[in-house]
Chains A and B, each alone.
Chain A
Amino acid sequence: QKEVEQNSGPLSVPEGAIASLNCTYSDRGSQSFFWYRQYSGKSPELIMSIYSNGDKEDGRFTAQLNKASQYVSLLIRDSQPSDSATYLCAGGYNFNKFYFGSGTKLNVKP
């Protein structure tokens, strides 16, 4: 059983729309969750971290965590073509190894 699961996509949204990315995890004890963006051929770049239930907003990005349902989501408002990338969800324990989902490819169409 995979520790972290994501829909591989691709998810296509028009420019200016809200992109919604979802992730589920199997280890109920996981403490830390992260969303990374990865452009083709590049290393992952940290977008958001979230540790508590609820929403966390940073600019156009909102991360949502629901520990009871074991899911994490990322909303991207006013999507731009430059947001087109693969988004990786990761979860695990504080300061310890954590597991990545397989990534969701997002295409934002101009």
Chain B
Amino acid sequence: GAVVSQHPSWVICKSGTSVKIECRSLDFQATTMFWYRQFPKQSLMLMATSNEGSKATYEQGVEKDKFLINHASLTLSTLTVTSAHPEDSSFYICSAWRDSNEQFFGPGTRLTVL
């Protein structure tokens, strides 16, 4: 099956620092990837759509200057949380469409901001 990886799987950082999360499609090319955030006991919230070679499309209420997305190649999208604060602590998950019209998720990155 399709494999989507994320790195790191967990990260702890100090308030005010920036954190970069990588999402890779390992066995297929993905022109579109999605970034989600999930708080405890809540459902997935779509943050943005990452498009290869163009700007990301952000959902309403998501600050594009705080959550920087770069989709530099057909297999890699990165999410950078800039000037992280404790309220940014969450589970960040990326996903990618395969040509079978099925969306597969990465294993997630748990971010804790102290």
Interface residues of chain A, those whose CB is within 8 Å of chain B, are: 32, 34, 36, 41-46, 49, 51, 88, 90, 94-95, 97-103
Residue of A nearest to B31 (CB): A95
Instruction: Report the minimum CB–CB distance from B74 to chain A (whole Å).
Output: 14
Which of B11-19, B60-68, B79-87, B96-104 is near enough to bind chain A? Answer: B96-104
Q: Which residue of chain B has its CB nearest to the CB of A31? A: B101
CA distance A36 to B93 in the complex (A): 14
A36 to B36: give the CA distance in the assembly, Å: 15
The reply to whether B101 and A43 contact each other, CB–CB distance below 8 Å, is no
Interface string of B35-66 (1 = CB under 8 A from A): 00000001110100100000000000000000
Cross-interface CB contact of B34 among A42, A97, A102, cutoff 8 Å: A97
B101 touches A46 (CB 8 A): no
Residue from B44, B49, B97 having most chain A Cβ neighbours under 10 A: B44
Task: Say whether, besides A88-B43, A88-B44, A95-B97, A43 and B103 are in contact (CB < 8 Å).
Answer: no
- A43 near B93 with CB under 8 A, answer yes
Residues of A within 8 A of B49 (CB): 97
Q: Are A95 and B46 in contact (CB under 8 A)?
A: no
Contact residue among B103, B104, B107 (Cβ-Cβ distance under 8 Å from A98): B103
A43 touches B108 (CB 8 A): yes
In chain B, what residue has the closest Cβ to A102?
B43
A90 to B34, CA, bound (A): 14
What is the CA–CA distance of A99 and B59 in the complex, to the nearest angstrom? 12
- Give the docked Cα–Cα distance between A45 and B95 (Å): 11
